[in-house]
Amino acid sequence: MASQAVSPMVGSRLWESTLLADEERQALQEAILPAHRVGANVDLVREGARTDDLFIIVEGWACRYSITTDGGRQLPALLLPGDVGNLDSLMFERLDYGVRTLTEATVVALPRDWALALAAQHPGIAQTFTWLALLENMILTKWIQSLGRRSAKSRLAHLLCELSVRLNAEADGASRFSFPLTQEQMGDVLGLTSVHINRVLQELKAERLVTTRYRTMILPDVARLRQSCGFDPSYLHTAGPRTTSSRMVERTM
């Protein structure tokens, strides 16, 4: 602190929340445990287990996963740098999903009890948690729409569009980002088999909407890809939460 070390949370959605006052940000910084590095395919929270920490992904990819009785796997969320992996642990002892890294990753833990206590003392922190939860809501809702009403090709295209925005990877109408998912894992996100992911991905490549090189995903023409699947980024609310006069009012009270 004395050395003005940059908090490992910098860049996380929690840290960057516009609902936080400076002293609230600092309170959060003092509550987190030291960042640590974990390997790929490591459970941060095992499925069905209880946990006392919120995990913030600082670098790398992770996912929520759940296994159905008949062995099928579903990934109900992809967690990118800045995301909180298990915000639900704030309010619930046991979750019906696990959290696991997909790549090597840097992770910060925030003890859940401290987080709650901070929320009770700092309105900005409490509202930030609500904001984060509602943001997840928007993404989950969009995934439901995708799973319910889109074709496989459109679902895949839509997912790539979403990731491109969430990773802030777009420039000059194109996008390029490191992409660690196997086709099996893409299938587990989209409710498809890896075989079909493969075929559909080839279609997108044939239409020059997608290119892959090594483990990099390249979207040469984001506008066309978006149009192909009806992607509208507004649900990601990259501009942050709504601000209102009432917020001003309570600020100045």
Q: Which parts of this chain interact with DNA (CB under 7 A)? A: 151-153, 182-184, 187, 191-196, 198-202, 214
Q: Tell me: does residue 113 bind its own copies (CB under 8 A).
A: yes
Within the chain, what is the greatest distance between any pair of CA atoms?
Answer: 60
Taking the complex as a whole, the smallest distance from the CB of residue 121 to its own copies amounts, in Å, to 7
Count, residues in the chain: 253
Q: Per CB under 8 A, which region of 4-12, 35-43, 113-121, 218-226 contacts its own copies?
A: 113-121
Closer of 97 and 177 to its own copies (Cβ): 97
Q: Tell me: does residue 252 bind its own copies (CB under 8 A).
A: no
Chosen residue from 1, 2, 206, 249 binding its own copies by CB under 8 A: 249
Choose from DNA, its own copies, none: what does 28 bind? Cβ within 5-8 Å by kind. none
What whole-number distance in Å separates Cα of residue 199 and Cα of residue 53? 40
Sorted by sequence, the CB contacts under 8 Å of residue 78 that are 6+ apart come out as 61, 62, 63, 163, 181, 189
Degrees, nearest 5: CA angle 195-41-95: 95
What whole-number distance in Å separates Cα of residue 193 and Cα of residue 187? 5
Are 38 and 104 in contact by the 8 Å Cβ rule? The answer is: yes
Q: Tell me: does residue 233 bind its own copies (CB under 8 A).
A: no
What whole-number distance in Å separates Cα of residue 57 and Cα of residue 23? 23
Q: Tell me: does residue 31 bind its own copies (CB under 8 A).
A: no
Measuring CA to CA, which residue among 28, 39, 80, 41 is closest to residue 58? 80
Choose from its own copies, DNA, none: what does 35 bind? Cβ within 5-8 Å by kind. none
Binding site for its own copies (CB under 8 A): 64, 66, 68-70, 72-74, 76-77, 87-88, 90-97, 112-114, 116-117, 119-121, 123, 126-127, 129-131, 133-138, 140-145, 147-150, 188, 190-191, 230, 232, 234-235, 237, 241-242, 244-247, 249-250
